[in-house]
Amino acid sequence: MTPADVLKLADEKNVRMVDLRFLDFVGIWQHFTVPRCELTEDLFEDGLGFDGSSIRGWQPIHASDMIVLPDPSTAVMDPFMEVPTLVLICDIADPMTKEGYSRDPRFIAKKAEKYLQSTGIGDTIYIGPEPEFFIFDDIRFSQGSDHSFYFVDSVEGIWNTGRDEGPNLGYKPRHKEGYFPVPPTDSQHDLRTEMCLVMEDLGIVVECQHHEVATAGQAEIDMRFESLLKMGDQLMWFKYIVKNVARRWNKTVTFMPKPLAGDNGTGMHTHQSIWKDGKPLFAGDGYGGMSEMAMHYIGGILKHAKALNAFTNPTTNSYKRLVPGFEAPINLAYSSRNRSASIRLPMYSTSPKAKRIEVRFPDPSCNGYLAFAAMLMAGLDGIQNKIDPGDPLDKDIYGLSPEELAKVPHAAGSLEEALDALKDDHDFLLKGDVFTQDVIDTWIKYKMENEVKPLRLQPSPGEFELYFDI
């Protein structure tokens, strides 16, 4: 779609307002809105200014002026605004040079795609994430010098079987038994269907939707794979849609990896494959029907996994999910069918086009542009250096002896460990200037100063339970 096409679309849809959106460093959509009269072809060339110092992890106040440059190919109508509103996803640029801003996650994703093409290895990386999330009916939390608490509730929560709901009708999924029951146990089928239909109206291809394993409204909606940049855009629309549809139903959605104790956390298994000239490159006659290139890509992911965790699992809460001894895929191994390995080779189809790897440790708290780009760079490093991923792990990991299990490396055990790993292992990200040293340093500093260190200082309710009577 060209700028002229966008103007034509705006006229056809009787657009009154234009919403300009971009992603902050951490991964939250930001926006500001201008009237239709501001939408001209010049806007796509000249952009509009804003204060970059007010965006998390971006400019200092003495160099705060930035501009947004709308991408005309992203133009769609907002499905929630009362007034006809056209949405444009924007790139961020320096107002003087018009060069892309190094800390703009979308710019990093674009550079990752260009780097892939420059290597000659392939021309397209396809990404297929499976974002999970919880749909709650109530959420309250507060932290102060004199208190700390959170409270979540869901009409589906198994803890509510005894609550007077006037009347309580039961059918609440037990812990770890929420996978695939039909209604009425699955009470949110119509809600998820509405989410899917809104996505389809915006051009997102949905493959399936279902209740996930946990009680209390854990859900999953799968999108058809797309190229890296487009999937980064789609993931932002995905989060926007599910949150706003839930709001219509007077419910709320969270992508926190571990909002409930004692039940499954929320992951985002991410399927990946490289193509060239319209042909898949991960299909072959090796293990699991994979090519040597695919094996080396896996080797790169496994080698750099702990550093990748800093982007794929970027919250302290992420490591309440990635815990040894449970079902989370912390074991840095690969297998054709073993879902306890951190990389799985899906065996649903023998078609070469379906051959892909599934990286299972990411979670949906991540900034998709950064996480997808980082995994691509790790995989390319594996291909370029012919990194051997070792032997597959087809045994039941939970049946291994302590001696056998000790030989299987693990993903990072905390955000601080992941950030330390990134500090020591990031040269692979700097290739092609995809990630800059400034981006790496700023990411580590921001996460340490704003998340890791503050939470060290805050007592938790669990600590009162354990230690108050000491």
Active site amino acids: 51, 130, 132, 212, 220, 269, 339, 358, 360
- Read off the tokens for 398: 């939970």
Rounded Cα–Cα distance for residues 273 and 124 (Å): 8
Exposed/middle/buried for residue 395 (C-beta within 10 Å: 0-12, 13-18, 19+): middle
73: closest CA among 201, 225, 206, 203? 203
For position 33, what pLDDT does the model report? 96
Strands (E), 101-190: 124-136, 138-144, 147-153
Residue 60, pLDDT above cutoff 80? no
Residue 280, pLDDT above cutoff 70? yes
Rounded Cα–Cα distance for residues 200 and 223 (Å): 10
Single-letter amino acid code for the residue at 406: A
Residue 402, pLDDT above cutoff 80? no
> Is the model more confident about 37 or about 408?
37
Rounded Cα–Cα distance for residues 235 and 227 (Å): 12
241: Cβ–Cβ under 8 A, 6 or more apart, which residues? 79, 195, 198, 199, 202
Rounded Cα–Cα distance for residues 323 and 331 (Å): 10
The shares of helix, strand and coil residues in the chain, as percent rounded to the nearest 5, are 40, 25, 40
Report if pTM > 0.85.
yes
Give tens-digit pLDDT for 216-261: 999 999 999 999 999 999 999 999 999 999 999 999 999 999 999 9
Q: What is the mean pLDDT of residues 99-125?
A: 96
Q: What is the mean pLDDT of residues 172-201?
A: 96
Rounded Cα–Cα distance for residues 1 and 72 (Å): 6
- 222-256 as b/e, with b when 16 or more CB fall inside 10 Å? bbebbbbbbbbbbbbbbbbbbbbbbeeeebbbbbb
Rounded Cα–Cα distance for residues 414 and 314 (Å): 9
Rounded Cα–Cα distance for residues 391 and 260 (Å): 35
Exposed/middle/buried for residue 377 (C-beta within 10 Å: 0-12, 13-18, 19+): buried
Strands (E), 298-347: 331-335, 341-344
Rounded Cα–Cα distance for residues 167 and 164 (Å): 6
For position 339, what pLDDT does the model report? 66
Query: Contact, 402 vs 325, CB < 8 A?
Result: no
For position 61, what pLDDT does the model report? 59
Give tens-digit pLDDT for 66-103: 899 999 999 999 999 999 999 999 999 988 888 999 99
